[in-house]
Amino acid sequence: MPVVLDGTAIAAQIQQEVALSVAALAARGVRPGLAVILVGHVPASEIYVRSKVKTCEELGIHSELITPPESITTEEMLALVDSLNQRDQIDGILIQLPLPAHVDTKRLLDAVLPEKDVDGFHPVNAGRLQSGRPSLAPCTPAGVIEILQRSAIPISGAHAVVVGRSDIVGKPAAALLLNHNATVTLCHSKTRDLATLTRQADILVAAIGRPGFITPEMVRHGATLIDVGINRVTTRADFDRFFAGDAKREEAFTRRGSVIVGDIHPHAFAVSRAYTPVPGGVGKLTIAMLMANTVQAARLRRGL
């Protein structure tokens, strides 16, 4: 039977450690502070951001939620970021993505001071990560590493195959795995003969944003499966394709009209050695690592 890698439990453990670090900083008169900018009303973003602010409160981290209207311009956003860059009380600045189409996202991410870039999206932090220097690493990929390490799944020497090349997950996940001495293959939508590559994976990371894309035939027996995808299933045909016979999900689907599936087909988990469930896997780590990055930024900025 495959082992279920419990993201909820691992995230709770990391958050406990962060709370201890916050207490140690408090003894030195330092309280880490996070500013979160949420533009407009994207329902998924509102849920994520609420959860980020709530977790700050639970761990003793100062947080500020700034909610400009959808009509805000790039220039106004730049002025806002600049004011947060200058405030000593703020250690971390997070601009929740996606931003409205009229706002220049890259220009804004570049405007955040690298030492306050708790998302790890600034090119300076991306470069530091690529070149194996200490850096604020993007939260979701950093969470993938924590899951593997805390579950005693060897990374060094393993063949890690990452499917998806986004700047937020795929690319930094590949860099982190390489820095931990995995042999890394980074695949994407134009990769030829993808299944031949995924079948070679000891660790398969799926971050492509396509429901159930990785099928059982694409997985080697005994591989570890890390599913970064969060996709909503709303049609009966898709539900049956992924979850036919799953009574618990059937009940949820009937009640809510949708259920969540990852980028890995649930049938693929059966052939694995270990896997992260969706929900309750990698997703739980993103906020925990954001908290950890905020505390790290607070320490580093003060030379502690």
Shortest distance in whole angstroms from residue 169 CB to ligand GUN? 8
Give 25 or 139: the residue with its C-beta nearer to ligand GUN: 139
Q: Which two tokens stand for residue 224?
A: 């570890």
Annotated active-site residue in 15, 52, 238, 284 = 52
In angstroms, the CA 168 to CA 172 distance is 7
Shortest distance in whole angstroms from residue 94 CB to ligand GUN? 5
Q: CA dist 176 to 97, 138, 281, 286, Å? A: 22, 10, 19, 15
By CB under 6 A, name the one of 4, 19, 97, 153 that touches ligand GUN: 97
Rounded to the nearest 5°, which phi and psi values hold at 124?
-65, -45
In angstroms, the CA 232 to CA 228 distance is 13
The answer to whether 96 contacts ligand GUN (rule: CB under 6 A) is yes
Considering only CA atoms, give the Rg of the chain. 20
Helix axes 170-179, 123-130, angle to 10 degrees: 30
Shortest distance in whole angstroms from residue 118 CB to ligand GUN? 9
Annotated active-site residue in 6, 119, 202, 227 = 119
Footprint on residues 279-298 left by ligand GUN (CB under 6 A): 286
Residue pointed to by tokens 């009380």: 89
Footprint on residues 197-216 left by ligand GUN (CB under 6 A): none
Shortest distance in whole angstroms from residue 96 CB to ligand GUN? 5
Give 119 or 146: the residue with its C-beta nearer to ligand GUN: 119
Shortest distance in whole angstroms from residue 131 CB to ligand GUN? 22
Interface region with ligand GUN, contact rule CB under 6 A, candidates 94-102, 177-185, 205-213, 269-277 = 94-102
Give 109 or 197: the residue with its C-beta nearer to ligand GUN: 109
> Which of 133, 79, 59 is CA-nearest to residue 288?
59
Q: Which two tokens stand for residue 212?
A: 């159930």
By CB under 6 A, name the one of 35, 38, 94, 204 that touches ligand GUN: 94
Residue at shortest CB range from ligand GUN: 97
- H runs (alpha helix) in the chain: 7-26, 43-59, 74-86, 105-111, 123-130, 139-150, 170-179, 194-198, 236-243, 247-256, 282-301
Contact criterion met (CB below 8 Å) for 175 and 129: yes
Give 177 or 285: the residue with its C-beta nearer to ligand GUN: 285
Residue pointed to by tokens 């990452």: 162
Q: Which two tokens stand for residue 36?
A: 């979160």
Neighbours of 22 (CB within 10 A): 21
In angstroms, the CA 304 to CA 302 distance is 5
Annotated active-site residue in 15, 91, 96, 117 = 96
Site string for ligand GUN, 119-148 (x = CB under 6 A): x-------------------xx--------
Interface region with ligand GUN, contact rule CB under 6 A, candidates 19-27, 90-98, 151-159, 236-244 = 90-98
Shortest distance in whole angstroms from residue 263 CB to ligand GUN? 15
In angstroms, the CA 76 to CA 159 distance is 45
Is residue 119 part of the annotated active site? The answer reads yes
- What 3-state class would DSSP assign to 79? helix
By CB under 6 A, name the one of 95, 103, 108, 295 that touches ligand GUN: 95
Interface region with ligand GUN, contact rule CB under 6 A, candidates 89-97, 181-189, 192-200, 245-253 = 89-97
List interacting residues with ligand GUN (CB under 6 A): 94-97, 119, 139-140, 286
Residues annotated as catalytic (active site), given as ranges: 52, 96, 119
